[in-house]
Amino acid sequence: MNDSNKHNGHQIKPHILLVEDEQDLAKLIMLNLTALNYEVFHATTLSQAMQIIDTKTLDLILMDRMLPDGDGIMLCQQLREAEKSLPVMMLTAKDSEADIVLGLEAGADDYLVKPFSVLELRARVKAMLRRSKVQQVQTEQLDFHGVSINSSTREVVANNSTLELTAREFDLLLFLAKHPLQVFSRMQLLEAVWGYNYDGYEHTVNSHINRLRSKLARSPGHPELVKTVWGVGYKFSPPEA
């Protein structure tokens, strides 16, 4: 399959990279993903994963943390430092809140704790790919005073400065911007942006909001677009003229 044909109008299988060194688990995941008509590439080390990332057009990465040549978080950080917005889902036995926050702060878009249900994995993968597909076909551009959000190119320009956002950060900002001044709770944002409801992970929203604000603050003018409504949630506050 020629990756250059990915956007030529034909339906092409989503390309997923699985980075997992547990062979039995990897086989189970690959079996379930190929059953969903996905093209799955498999790597057992960080170095193998980087080779595939450099040579293939991917739609999603599923990545273990504890790998033979390092922590999957290292690869996630490298992707974000290289300004790659490729969605990443962590698959790991590290289940403490600190570990989950660390993964999200490193740029992961989702975090699934082992052992997990294969049905839940399939649901999360489909939700992430569905959001990505919806964003690709949209051509809407939201323009505010000094801020432009293009859902087709997935670019955000604030005061003439292009922001480098992860896929989930962009989805979160776009959703809020489509409903200016409307306040959403963390659970509502989980359902709307992540695609499903999973209790106990509201801190995921907090982490992404903090990262999003940090990136927005680096642009000239420091637009405070995402505001906290204490005791309720968050809202998008368009900049004034």
Q: What is the DSSP string of 64-104?
A: ESEETTEEHHHHHHHHHHTT----EEEEES--SHHHHHHHH
d(CA 100, CA 106) in angstroms, rounded, equals: 10
**pLDDT (mean) for 133-148:** 68
**pLDDT (mean) for 74-93:** 82
More confident residue, 3 or 39: 39
Contact of 71 with 51, CB cutoff 8 Å: no
What pLDDT does residue 68 have? 93
pLDDT of 220 above 70: no
d(CA 207, CA 212) in angstroms, rounded, equals: 9
d(CA 69, CA 75) in angstroms, rounded, equals: 11
What pLDDT does residue 4 have? 36
How high does pLDDT run on average in the chain?
82
Q: What letter does residue 36 receive in the DSSP assignment?
A: T
Contact of 167 with 234, CB cutoff 8 Å: no
Q: What is the pLDDT of residues 95-136, one digit of tens each?
A: 788 888 888 888 888 888 898 999 999 999 988 887 666 555
Q: What is the pLDDT of residues 9-63, one digit of tens each?
A: 344 688 999 999 999 999 999 999 999 999 999 999 999 999 998 888 888 999 9
Which of 43-52, 72-81, 143-152, 215-224 has maximum average pLDDT? Answer: 43-52
What region does 84 belong to: left with phi over 0, alpha with psi -120 to 50, or beta?
Answer: beta
What is the pLDDT confidence band of residue 5, given thresholds at 50, 70 and 90?
very low
Phi and psi dihedrals of 117, rounded to 5? -75, 135
What pLDDT does residue 31 have? 95
Of 144, 146, 145, 139, the C-alpha closest to 154 is 139
What pLDDT does residue 105 have? 80
Q: What letter does residue 192 receive in the DSSP assignment?
A: I
Residue with tokens 């052992």, as numbered in its chain:
115
**pLDDT (mean) for 169-184:** 90
What pLDDT does residue 106 have? 81
More confident residue, 1 or 68: 68
Q: What is the DSSP string of 141-171?
A: EEEETTEEEETTTTEEEETTEEE---HHHHH
What pLDDT does residue 205 have? 87
d(CA 16, CA 13) in angstroms, rounded, equals: 9
What pLDDT does residue 240 have? 66
